[in-house]
Amino acid sequence: MKEIDIHTSLIVYTPEELPAEEQALIEAARQATHRSYAPYSHFSVGAAALLADGTIVTGTNQENVAYPSGICAERTTLFYANSQYPDQPVKALAIAARGTDGKEVHPPITPCGACRQVMLESENRFGTPMKVLLCGVGQIYVVESARSLLPISFDSLT
């Protein structure tokens, strides 16, 4: 018997500590929350992807009366980015959310398992780390690679 320890780490920044490019990405994710379609949960999530060529693509959670048919903001954004720009690695993904009171969440939300799997695939297909910025009021959780959010992942059919 042996035990394997798996470590992951994130860094918590104040927004001002981040480069201007990342601050702009965070602002895009925050603005996107206002375009969420969340009539059931009233929880509005926005995501913004920064592509290698500097393009920013945003998306939001899209709910449905048949609840499981809805999709999170992260997957809306990444599937759209990868559909429209199949040759552009996603360098960074910012995620912001407003709760049922309409106010930005504090601390940040962290992505669901399905979104982590999709982030990892997007990272792997380009071979480029995707920085993930989880936005809360006055604090941004940053991981340097989507892989950090999904250790011991399924990533091979062989």
Q: Which is nearer to ligand THU, 52 or 103 (CB)?
A: 103
Out of 112, 125, 138, 155, the only residue in the binding site for ligand THU (CB under 6 A) is 112
**Interface with ligand THU includes 153 (CB under 6 A)?**
no
Minimum distance from residue 2 beta carbon to ligand THU (Å): 34
The CB density around residue 141, as the number of other CB atoms within 10 Å, is 18
Given candidates 15, 70, 99, 136, which one binds ligand THU under the rule CB under 6 A?
70
Total residues interacting with ligand THU, rule: CB under 6 A:
14
Active-site annotation holds for 74: yes
- Please check whether residue 8 is in contact with residue 73, taking contact to mean a CB–CB distance below 8 angstroms: no
Q: Contact between 118 and ligand THU (CB under 6 A)?
A: no
The span of 11-19, 23-31, 41-49, 139-147 binding ligand THU (CB under 6 A) equals 41-49
Closest to 50 measured CA to CA, from 84, 96, 95, 90:
90
* Residue 74 makes contact with ligand THU by CB under 6 A: yes
**Between 45 and 51, CB nearer to ligand THU:** 45
- Residue 89 vs 111, nearer CB to ligand THU: 111
3 to 6, 8, 49: CA distances (angstroms): 10, 16, 37
Q: Is 119 in the site for ligand THU (CB under 6 A)?
A: no
Q: Which stretches of the chain bind ligand THU, using CB under 6 A?
A: 38, 41, 43, 45, 61, 63, 70, 72-74, 109, 111-112, 115
